[in-house]
Structure 1
């Protein structure tokens, strides 16, 4: 286990170093060879921030390209969160570029006038406006009422526009890129970013079209949830580890960018390559799951994620779930039952009402096949309820965690606020941080 964690940390440090290198390399390369005379600290800092900002914009495409070797040390959910918050930092860096120029030379504010500014300065302004729109629409998507599918198209189009107009701006200004080989360098960067976009939006969807699935059953669960079962058509399917997830497209082409991320809720040992996803009615797309016709065509891009016991061997496990966060944990429990695993397990599962608790009956069936202790926590319990009430608090965890708690690995999945609160509680109870694993399923 020590070697495993050392390898994970070393791999993570390597990819973080790669990120910094990709962001800063263009700036360092531009400083090689003849450079224009310095025009003061603020001016040169502004130019450096502009080039670094464009480097960050290009790497944003790489972060969401789902390259497994790069995402495995962190988990793709963490990569997507990193992508989101780096986008905010990126906007601050790029905004600082024109602000510092104007502070250094107030006359340059005239370049913001679209009716009198040179074309390359207009391109810079358009790039900045596109980037602002990307960040605002991403951070406040739900508050603005933007549906998922239109947002994805808009997000991609605006992101590409921001990069293209920024490159036009650099080409026109020619500061630090006057020499032919430096202009060629930026064109190589641009082609690389375009290639990443084409891989994500065209090549990968095209390959998925050659490996279709079909919907073979739809079962209603408690709590406005549905279990959707698919089987591969004309191929052997995919192998996944219990607890992982995939992007699912239903009833259309993967080229249409209508995919949504869902956790597997089935054991990976189901015959015939069968996959099951348990999906709660929470949004525009998920509210239609119950009406998906049998034999509908589906496409599965996966598996992804590190929320799996396969990466974390331990003498026993603790699972903490809230709401539909039980889905990946059910995949793990079912897999352990299929293997005949008798290690001690604790499941702490929080829900609002008893009668709506998803998988309540399936969990009871698993007790007979596993060495499983279950603690249900109800926010609105029935009058006769004698179990835990309210939320999963530190006191609840301290009552039920086993004596060997520091040896167990803990898997937490649920709403983001709940997950963060439980992580704090577990740290307060002395559990090693390396033994706590969370799934952040609110990716966008």
Structure 2
């Protein structure tokens, strides 16, 4: 798996650097000053990175398998900032040192179209990054943001290609234009795959809601069964799905949720969904019989990925318990007696989701259940506060810790504190795995 991960990283670097090499083939314009050529290189590198961004969100299983799609999406997010920075520096160098190259005016009615296209691409890319990074602060509804993000990224990319071909610097030769247009065609086909082909496949394999039941802490269990097809294939406990309810799979209204049920329960699958935002706040209104669509399964957050582990530790908070429920239910169905420690943080005792089922699972598993409450009830004898090194030391023996695989899922402050505590305890990095709590 590490070799596959290294191979994909090498492919990414090749895709970003390849345009630079292509530009040097055949007839090359005479070199100018260092900063001019450096600016051109940054512009082409930023453009290549923006193009590869489409691949990172295409949910290509060979690409996501070594890392997990949550890490790929995080990578996509950070690389967007880097690509935008490269393009901004490209523009900044020209503005500071070669102002004549930017034309006499920025008025699109009078400026050369290719320069206007470049400025438009820069603005569109910046808006795509900013509205994604601060979507909640800007109070952008999720569905509206999805539409805007796709439109901004696609139009920005088209404007950038037009800018590059219109300027013609390094790309005037016919063979280079053909190469750039070919690369552009690949990115367009990738977009068609994500926005047309995959939704079409989901449309052909619908699901039906068979149950919606309330849990503690404004959480709902949503159960689905396949409608006219076999259901999920290759599902491992702990993975997640992109779910569409009350809408078309073409409508950009899908949301990622961890699957709470076990593979042994297939074809039926269940989700644990907390009523939090625009979509989830209405989850209790869903009724049995309604149509749903899934793009699944995804993720590497699973006991099946670490068959050599002597046991498992789950450190979860709130609804972050959902993937662990899938793993625990699967272990119970398999009669897997490897030891499990579940450190489960919540604000109050009444907010502990799946509380009764977790207690029942103790009779079927070698499960040590450690509840951690911020506001414990009177007479509480368990752990309080937050996950700390001292708390983990009280429950995990130093001899066994390195042989256990540790799964972390919950609010970012909790997982960051848990990662720090495990690092201080000397846990090897490959024995600690964190699920990114929010993909978007």
Could you say which TM-score interval applies, normalised by the shorter chain? over 0.9
Q: CA deviation at 1:35?
A: 0.5
My pick for the range that moved more, 20-29 or 229-238, is 20-29
Structure 1 position 111, deviation (Å): 4.9
Structure 2 Cα separation of the partners of residues 227 and 98 of structure 1: 51
SS at match of 1:96: helix
Q: Distance in 2 between matches of 1:431 and 1:401?
A: 12
Matched residues in 2 for 1:218 and 1:52: separation? Answer: 49
Equivalent residues in 2 for 1:36-75, closer than 5 Å: 36-75=29-68
Residue 399 (structure 1) aligns with: 394
Match for residue 416 of structure 1? 412
Tell me by how many angstroms 1:108 deviates: 3.8
Among 431, 436, 440, the residue aligned to 1:435: 431
Q: Distance in 1 between matches of 2:264 and 2:200?
A: 28
2:346 corresponds to 1:351:
yes
In structure 2, C-alpha distance between the alignment counterparts of 1:380 and 1:183, rounded to whole Å = 65
CA drift at 1:102: 2.0
Deviation (angstroms), 1:235: 0.5
The reply to whether residue 32 of structure 1 matches residue 22 of structure 2 is: no
- Aligned-residue offset at 1:400: 1.1
Residues 342-381 of structure 1 mapped to structure 2, 5 A cutoff: 342-381=337-376
Q: In 2, distance between residues paired with 1:352 and 1:141?
A: 27
Whether the 8 Å CA contact 1:111–1:122 is kept in 2: the answer is no
In 2, the alpha carbon distance for the partners of 1:145 and 1:122 equals 30
**Structure 1 counterpart SS, 2:370:** strand
**How far apart, in 2, do the equivalents of 1:401 and 1:352 lie?**
23
Q: What CA deviation, in whole Å up to 9, does each residue of 1:131-187 have, x standing for no partner? A: 110011011000000011110110000001111001111111100001111111111
Correspondence 1:88 to 2:81: yes
Matching residue of 1:3: none
Q: Secondary structure, in 3 states, of the residue corresponding to 2:397?
A: coil
Deviation (angstroms), 1:251: 1.8
1:281 aligns with 2:275: yes
Per the TM alignment, residue 47 of structure 1 is displaced from its structure 2 partner at its CA by 0.6
Cα distance 1:26–1:111, how it changes in 2: closer, same or farther (>3 A)?
farther
TM-score by length of 1: 0.97
Of 302, 325, 330, the match for 2:325 = 330
State the shift of 1:106 in Å: 3.2
Name which of structure 1's ranges 103-112 and 177-186 shifts more when overlaid on structure 2. 103-112
The whole-number CA distance in structure 2 between the counterparts of 1:55 and 1:97 is: 14
CA distance in 1, matches of 2:105, 2:80: 25
Q: Name the CA distance, whole Å, in 1 between partners of 2:222 and 2:42.
A: 48
Check whether the contact 1:111–1:118 (CA below 8 A) recurs between aligned residues.
no
Give the match's secondary structure for 2:59.
coil
Q: SS where residue 144 of structure 1 aligns?
A: coil
Q: Does 1:238 align with 2:232?
A: yes
Question: Shift of residue 51 of structure 1?
Answer: 0.8
Question: Displacement, 1:373?
Answer: 0.5
Aligned residues of 1:111 and 1:121 also touching (Cα < 8 A): no
Summarize the Cα distance change of 1:113–1:38 in structure 2 as closer, same or farther, 3 Å threshold.
Answer: farther
Which of 160, 164, 186 aligns to 1:166? It is: 160
* Superposed displacement of residue 270, structure 1: 1.1
Aligned residues of 1:221 and 1:359 also touching (Cα < 8 A) = yes
Distance 1:219 1:405 in 2: 37
Structure 1 unaligned spans of 5+: 1-7
Which residue of 2 is the match for residue 425 of structure 1?
A: 421
Deviant stretches of 4+, over 4 Å: none
Instruction: Give the match for residue 213 of structure 2.
Output: 219
Q: Which stretches in structure 2 are left out of the alignment for 5+ residues?
A: none
Give the corresponding residue for 1:4: none
Give the structure-2-normalised TM-score.
0.98
Distance in 1 between residues matched to 2:173 and 2:101, nearest whole Å:
25
CA distance in 2, matches of 1:233, 1:98: 53
RMSD: 1.0
- 1:249 aligned to which of 235, 244, 260: 244
Given the alignment, which residue of 97, 111, 114 partners 2:90? 97
Partner in structure 1 of residue 193 of structure 2: 199
